[in-house]
Structure 1
Amino acid sequence: MPAAYIPALKYHFLTPIYDWFIRLTMPELKVKNRLIQQAELHAGEKILDFGCGTATLTLLIEEQTTDCVIIGLDTDPQIMAIAKKKISQKKSAITLLIYDGKTFPFPDRTFDKVISSWVFQHLTTPQKIASFKEINRVLKSQGELHIADWGKAETKLMRLLFFVVQVFDNFYTTNDNIKGKLPQLIQNRGFQQVEIVGNQSTLFGTLSYFKAVKT
């Protein structure tokens, strides 16, 4: 059985409206396209979308790359059912996999790049640490990790707005984000050149773009 996890929108009964809710409340496509541009994907690369959810980012990656092997990984069977339906409708070559929330089902040094959006806010500190360790393991030497997720608030308004996210998503999973701890947690798992590439103000707070290179 998968390790305990928080579903998208926190509750399973809200999973069917996830795509609709995110489109309505967040600049989803803008964020995910910016993340893809940041990753500078190249033909022939092997790419992992960690916490792929409904596969919106995964499909965008496929649309914007050539001859890449693209895999989406998640722990939630309910949201993956939505992703699989979207993949099927697009007649996509993307592979979607469910894992146990602990060990990724891949050998060491499998991927050139790992990309993730709005995932780590749902993970406890130990889960974040374990995930960064696994990401490091499956990345090739000098492989890159690219993340779009909530970061330290740039203004008092952004801090106030993020309070809504914390009430909804849980304080104990989002505290690392708002306290600006993600870069240090990433670096402690064997990454170098960990940096915040940019920040973006949203309806719910400051969204940060992170980049890290495997040591």
Structure 2
Amino acid sequence: MPDSRSYTPPAGHHFLTPFYDLGVRLSTRERVWRNALIELISPKNEDILLDIGAGTGSLAVLVAQRNAATRYFGIDPDRHAVEIARIKARRAGIEAEFAHKLFAADAVADWPAPSLATLCLVLHQVPLDEKLRLLREIHAVLQPNGRLYIADYSEQRSWLMRKLFRATIQKLDGKADTQPNADGVLIPLMAEAGFLDVCELTQLNTVTGSISILSGVKGAQGA
């Protein structure tokens, strides 16, 4: 089971969770990257989407707007974020199931195996060994040929993006967990976790650094 000490609240501190949506919207060009993510995922009627680190449920609403037939399941270790997500789903009148748990394969054993998984703005907040654990466990629960999409701070390629990243995200979340992302560790980690065809689909510059959308697929034999 994962260690709760590896968990960082969505906005870095529990007392900031109610302001998380506003902060993400203002600092990450959220509408742009979330819409790009939905376009890339292109959820189908038969898809089952598992959203790890679902936060306040923003992706659930967008998935339902794109394709209401796609089944959505979200898991997050922050109780306040999950409460907000459930309220947001009820207000939007959408079908979405949320669990307040640390993610592990056995934590979602009662849910159907997903054909899609998403991991948004999570990996930059956790230690290197936890990054790899999460990726391995996502790989384990995906259906054969299932696909993982990551939207997160990844390699900061320009001087400006590195400077902005240091001045914002690393000030909030610390350097130890965030620096591997900035150095480009995510693609190698995805491959180490067993994903195939790992690639960066797009990268978006923001005032807090560049956010990449990455993808990888689980093999047909699950290996």
TM-score (norm 2): 0.91
Q: Quick one: which of 55, 64, 73 aligns to 1:71?
A: 73
**Matching residue of 1:208:** 212
Q: Equivalent pairs: percent with the same residue?
A: 27
Amino acid aligned to 1:151: S
Q: Report if the CA contact (8 A) 1:46-1:69 is conserved.
A: yes
For 2:32, the equivalent position in structure 1 comes to 30
Q: Equivalents in 1 of 2:96, 2:102: separation in Å?
A: 20
Structure showing the higher strand proportion among its residues: 1
Matched, 1:146 2:149: yes
What does residue range 60-209 of structure 1 map to in structure 2 within 5 Å?
A: 60-107=62-109, 110-164=113-167, 165-209=169-213
Aligned pair partner of 1:48 in 50, 53, 60: 50
Measured in 2, the distance between the counterparts of 1:83 and 1:205 equals 26
Deviation sequence 1:54-93 (CA, Å, 0-9, x none): 0011211111014111111111112111111111212221
CA distance in 2, matches of 1:58, 1:206: 23
CA-CA distance at 1:117 after TM superposition? 1.5
Alignment deviations for residues 147-190 of structure 1 (CA, whole Å, 9 cap, x no partner): 11001112101111110211211111112210100011111111
SS of the residue aligned with 1:141? coil
Q: Distance in 1 between matches of 2:17 and 2:218?
A: 33
User: What is the CA–CA distance in structure 2 between the aligned matches of 1:109 and 1:57, rounded to whole Å?
Assistant: 19
SS at match of 2:147: strand
Give the conservation status (yes or no) of the 8 Å contact 1:150–1:206.
yes
Counterpart code for 1:114 = A
Q: Structure 1 runs of 4+ off > 3 angstroms?
A: 100-104
Aligned partner of 2:131: which letter? K
| Cα distance in 1 between the residues matched to 2:77 and 2:29 | 24
Q: Which runs of 5+ in 1 are unaligned?
A: none
- Displacement of 1:2 after TM fit? 6.8
Taking the aligned partners of 1:182 and 1:109, their CA distance within structure 2 comes to 27
Would the alpha carbon gap of residues 66 and 102 (structure 1) be closer, same or farther in structure 2, given more than 3 Å must change? closer
Tell me if structure 1 keeps the 8 A contact 2:11–2:17.
yes
| Alpha carbons of structure 1 residues 106 and 38: separation in structure 2 relative to 1, 3 Å | same
Corresponding residue SS for 2:22: helix
Distance 1:98 1:199, change over 3 A: same
Offset of residue 104 of structure 1: 4.5
Q: Report the equivalent of 2:21.
A: 19
Write the distance in 1 (CA, Å) between the matches of 2:105 and 2:16.
27
Check conservation: 1:117, 1:149, Cα contact below 8 A.
Answer: yes
TM-score, L = length of structure 1: 0.94
User: Residue 96 of structure 1: CA displacement?
Assistant: 0.5
Q: Distance in 2 between matches of 1:21 and 1:179?
A: 24
Residue 72 to residue 20, structure 1, CA distance change in 2 (3 Å):
same
